[in-house]
Amino acid sequence: MVVPVLATEFEKTLAFDLRASWQARALVEAKGQTGMVLLSVLSHTYDEALMVVLPLVFPGYVEPSLPCLVSTGKVAKSGAVVADVIRKDRTLAKDQVVYPTELAMRDDFRRLADRLKLNDSDRIEMFKCVQRWVVADRRLDPTFDPKDPDAKRIVH
């Protein structure tokens, strides 16, 4: 089967554009814990698109290396950011601390954005993805009614 030259040129251009996106650049730059969290953040937001980007960024990519996150983030009652992790021995560990505080997570992604020299719109988009990844805040008391005149308790 002969592939039209125009189709292969289009594919090369598309691949180049995808590799130049902040998402692909961040995947290449992020290492260790940051990389593990970033992959989960991006898969939560860009589930199907990530299946195209990952093989372009990491040729031969099949599945994430272990340990890897298998849930979205949650803020625990202690204030730590936690998520479910599949360990190297392929066991599931629920609610493992990923960052000791929300500020630690924010600062980690801020440093990543600085290293990538993201423009304002890409930086905002990245932080919106991180914000959407944290789906629950267990510090909040669901029975707390701020309109209640007797509500003088502190939520934290």
C-alpha 118/C-alpha 20 separation (Å) is: 12
Band of pLDDT at residue 3, cut at 50, 70 and 90: very low
CB 38 within 8 A of CB 112: yes
- Mark residue 32 as left, alpha or beta (left: phi above 0; alpha: psi -120 to 50; beta: remaining): left
Is residue 11 predicted with pLDDT exceeding 60?
no
What is the distance between the alpha carbons of residues 1 and 115, in angstroms, rounded to a whole number? 44
Over 80: is that where the pLDDT of 13 sits?
no
pLDDT tens figures, 133-151: 999 998 876 666 667 766 5
Look at residue 56 in the predicted model and tell me its pLDDT: 84
Tell me if 82 sits within 8 A of 64, measured CB to CB: no
Taking the C-alpha atoms of residue 30 and residue 115, their distance in angstroms, rounded to an integer, is 10
Sequence-ordered list of residues with C-beta below 8 angstroms from that of 56, at least 6 positions apart, any chain: 15, 18, 19, 24
Work out the pLDDT band at 92, boundaries 50, 70, 90.
very high
How much of the chain exceeds pLDDT 90, in percent?
Answer: 62
- DSSP structural state of residue 2: P
Which residues are paired to 82 by β-bridges?
74, 97
Instruction: Give the angle subtended at the CA of 141 by the CAs of 137 and 147, to the nearest 5°.
Output: 125
pLDDT band at 156 (very low <50, low <70, confident <90, very high): very low
Q: How confident is the model at residue 53 (pLDDT cuts 50, 70, 90)?
A: confident
Q: Specify the pLDDT at position 6.
A: 45
| Torsional sign, CA 61, 84, 103, 43 | positive
Residue 36 phi/psi, 5° resolution?
A: -65, -45
**pLDDT confidence of 18, banded at 50, 70, 90?**
confident
Structure tokens that stand for 120 in this block: 């304002």
